[in-house]
Structure formats: structure tokens, C-alpha cells
Amino acid sequence: MSKKIVVVGAGLAGLSAAKNLVDNGFEITLLESRSVFGGKVSSWKDSDGDWIESGLHVFFGSYQKIFDLMKDVGCYQNIDWQTPSIQYKIPGGNGFQIVSNEHLPPPLNLLPNFFFNHQFSISDLLKYCRAILPVLLKNQNYINAQDDKDFISWVKQFGVSDEMVKRMFLPMTLSLKFLPASQISAQVVLNVFKLFITNPKGFKIGFLNGAPAEKLTGPIVQYLEKRGAKILLNQKVLNLEITEINGSKSIRSLQTQSGDNFDADYFVFALPTHKFKKILTPYFEDIDYFKNLSNFKGVPVANAQFWVDKPITNDKRLHFGTGSITPVFADMNLACGDYKTPKGSSLIETVIAPAENFSGLSDEEILEKAWNEIKSYFPNDSMNAKVVKSSLVKIPQSVYAPHPNLEKLRPSQNTPIPNLFIAGGFTKGHEFFDSMEGAVQSGLLAAEKLIEKQAFNN
């Protein structure tokens, strides 16, 4: 008889855990509190039939497990790969790019930037190279030891200029973690560098050719349902029923806002950090593992989309912005096949961060500030351009804030509760943190530990 498992959370972590478990013969019920699945990569249609996205998401060539997952469910072909380069835009219209030569091994693939990138001095570039030498040599012990300092403190010790920090590193950290580099562990940023710089495909970037609900999470849901998994929306968890035998606690069942009760042999919670603390900690507050979850906080972020009445760029690449609140954006009319507008007008999607630069503003003020900043990157082509409509999605607690000294506190997917496992980018065992790849890897790890526990029990 197959074991019953309840997976809570239908983001990429929960979906990947459920997929691994259903492939191994478990009976799966997947509960999602919202009316849409996908978590941080959720999408839905507005009243006009246009897709609204909760965030601007791209695939990097250094990802692995998410590609395996997509191939298994038949949606890997939905990625449109671009040339391996990143474009930086500066208010006023100037900019620069970082290009990777796919035909050269790392780090020689980045050598052309020394000769063609005139944004920074040779002195700055050499200081930067000296700083990342341990990364190029894949010295993981050195990288891990940098968790006690923030990235700015780390990079400054090598004499890198404020200009390089502002122009190159700030947009990158804001786009990846939605926080200024001064608030992020150097270890986290250096691990990201390693994935980009030491992987020949690291700078390869891809976009989905349509909405995640149709081109990514949708196919995973269909795969699960075809194999007997039950996927239920609008099932917010309210209560847990706990049993205790000889001082050992376990979960017998949970109750959702619909009044339904779900019992299972095992439970996998794949949630943002604040929801873990809200749902689980009250029942296990005397256990250090769950007390430790209080160290992890979510980062606020917003995502905006602007439908414009004319094209303001002919560049389909991902752009890093050096303004105050638009660190990464793209024209989805060019980058995403299904989002092409009838007249070829621009559809700009941008992350809005950091929160400290837009907190206290109304939605209309945030959108106006973001649009004015986007126009400043394309002053000529955006002249007389008008926004036909716009959307703003605000997420009060998104990815976890990777502050210094947190790496050693990242929890295992295997909890002290024998039938409870957790998944999420903040859990340990992978180097991709709260990215799409990190979510998938954490879900796979949770499933693997559950399977190991079940095999041991048998």
C-alpha cells in the first residue's frame, strides 16, 4: 500500500518535491493557499486577457535540476535562449555590456571585456580580477569563510572603486536578492559569481516563451495530475493535529480554511520563511530547529509591467538598470514569444527594489517613478511614449534576506519531527539560494530525505 503524503505549497519547491515523490509511487495531495499555483513564479490573466506576472524570471545556463524537471514534464523547449551577454543601462542613455565568448573556457571567455568595456578603468578591472581570483580557482573554503562580512566590505578591501560598486554590483545584487550589496553576505554573492564565471554556460540567459502558468508550472501540474496527484487551490492551512508518543511529536493531520482535514503518513511544507514561522513554530516552539527559523526574514519586492503605445527599444536582452528602483528589466514584447504586442509596441517588465526606495509611496507613485526611470534609459526612443496600461504586484516577503552569518543557520530539509520535511531556497544543501533552481533543488532534497526515511522505516 502506497504511503500518503501531503505537500503544502505549490511553488517550484513544492511542485518539484511532489513530482519526485509521485514518480516513486507515493500518493500525493498538494495544497495551495492561493487561487493560483506557482508561488514566486505565479501568473494569471487580468480582465483584458493579458498575463500578469508576480516577478521577472529568467533562466541561467548554470542551472541544472530545473532543466531536468522541465525535460521530464515536456516543457524544456519553452525556453528561448539568448546570446550570452548582459546589458547595463545608465540614466541618460549610456550603458555597457558584459559579454561571454562561448568558444573559450572560463575565465578566458570574459577576456574580451577588458578590451571593449570602457566604463571602468583598467586599474578597476585588475582590482576586480584580483578580488575574484579565489572564485576562479574554485576555492570553496575561501568563499564559505566570507560569510562573516557583507559584500561591500569584502570588495572594498581590494580597492575597487565606488563607481564600479554602484554601476556593476548594486544592480546585480538588487536583481538577485532585492537588497543592496551592503546587506548581503559576501559568501552568497561569491557563490553566484562562481556559478557565472566558472561555468562555460554561466552567462547564457533564457526567457520562457509565454506565461509560467502555461509554459512552466502548468505542465508540471498536468504531469502530477496524470499520475494521480490531487492538487487543491484555496487551501490555506489553519491548524495541525499533533500526536506525541514517548515524548516524540509527529503530525497526524492538518485542517485548512475550507474546513477540510487532511491526514497523511508524511508532510512536506514548501513555503516562504514567514509562513513556516506562522504555521509550524507555535506547535514546536520548544525545539531549537524551529526557533532557528526566526533568523530568516523575507525581503519585500515589487514587479511592474508597462504596456506602451510604441517601441522604446529593439534590444531583447535582459537589462540591468543603474537607477534607484529598476535594477533589472526586459522588453517582453521582444523577449517572450507569446507576449508580442499587435503593433510591436514595448511591454516592459521590471523588478522594483530595494523596498527602502519606494516604501511609503502609493501604487501610482511607484509606477510613475519606475516608468520615469525606464524612460531615462532610452531618452530618445521613449520620447512621447505613453503607457497604455500598467500593473504592479507587491510581495511583502519574497526571497529570504541572505545577511552575513546566516549560512551556518540554514536548516536541513529533514526536521526533528519524524514525518515532517521542509523545502525552500533558504534550506541548505545547494548553492542556488532563493532562485528557481534553488527552489527546485530544495524540493528534490526534501523528497529524497523523505524517501530515505521511508526506506529506513521499512
**pLDDT tens column, 42-72:** 999 999 999 999 999 999 999 999 999 999 9
CATH domain 4-39+212-297+402-457 topology: FAD/NAD(P)-binding domain (3.50.50)
Query: From CA 439, how far away is CA 421, in angstroms rounded?
Result: 14
Q: Which CATH architecture has domain 300-395?
A: Alpha-Beta Complex (3.90)
- Split at pLDDT 50, 70, 90, the class of 324 is very high
pLDDT, greater one: 417 or 2: 417
**pLDDT tens column, 199-251:** 888 889 999 999 999 999 999 999 999 999 999 999 999 999 999 988 889 99
| pLDDT at position 259 | 94
pLDDT, greater one: 450 or 136: 450
Residue with cell 575597487: 160
Tell me the angle at which helices 217-226 and 12-23 cross, rounded to the nearest 10 degrees: 30
Contact partners, residue 216, CB within 8 Å, separation at least 6: 38, 41, 70, 75, 78, 208
Q: Does the pLDDT value for residue 80 go beyond 60?
A: yes
Across the range 87-112, mean pLDDT stands at 85
Cell numbers given for 101: 565568448
Query: From CA 208, how far away is CA 31, in angstroms rounded?
Result: 25
Residue ranges of the domains in the chain?
4-39+212-297+402-457, 102-197, 300-395
Q: Does the pLDDT value for residue 273 go beyond 80?
A: yes
Query: From CA 324, how far away is CA 362, in angstroms rounded?
Result: 17
Across the range 139-148, mean pLDDT stands at 92
- Which phi and psi angles does 285 have, rounded to 5°? -70, -15
| pLDDT at position 79 | 98
pTM, two decimal places: 0.95
**pLDDT tens column, 154-182:** 999 999 999 888 998 899 899 989 999 99
| pLDDT at position 190 | 92
Query: Which segment of 49-63, 91-105, 412-426 scores lowest on mean pLDDT?
Result: 91-105
**pLDDT tens column, 100-143:** 887 888 777 777 776 677 788 888 888 888 888 888 787 889 99
pLDDT, greater one: 330 or 246: 330
Three-state DSSP at 166 gives: helix
Q: Does the pLDDT value for residue 198 go beyond 80?
A: yes
| pLDDT at position 111 | 75
**pLDDT tens column, 355-391:** 888 889 999 999 999 999 999 999 999 999 999 999 9
| pLDDT at position 104 | 80
Cell numbers given for 344: 510591436
**pLDDT tens column, 395-408:** 999 999 999 999 99
Query: From CA 77, how far away is CA 93, in angstroms rounded?
Result: 34
Q: Which long-range contacts (CB under 8 A, 24 or more apart) does 100-105 make?
A: 100/202, 100/203, 100/204, 102/200, 102/201, 102/204, 105/200
pLDDT, greater one: 343 or 265: 265
> Which one, of 434, 424, 339, 355, lies nearest residue 394 by Cα?
355
**pLDDT tens column, 18-44:** 999 999 999 999 999 999 999 999 999
> What rounded mean pLDDT belongs to the chain?
93
Q: Does the pLDDT value for residue 444 go beyond 80?
A: yes
| pLDDT at position 1 | 57
| pLDDT at position 246 | 83
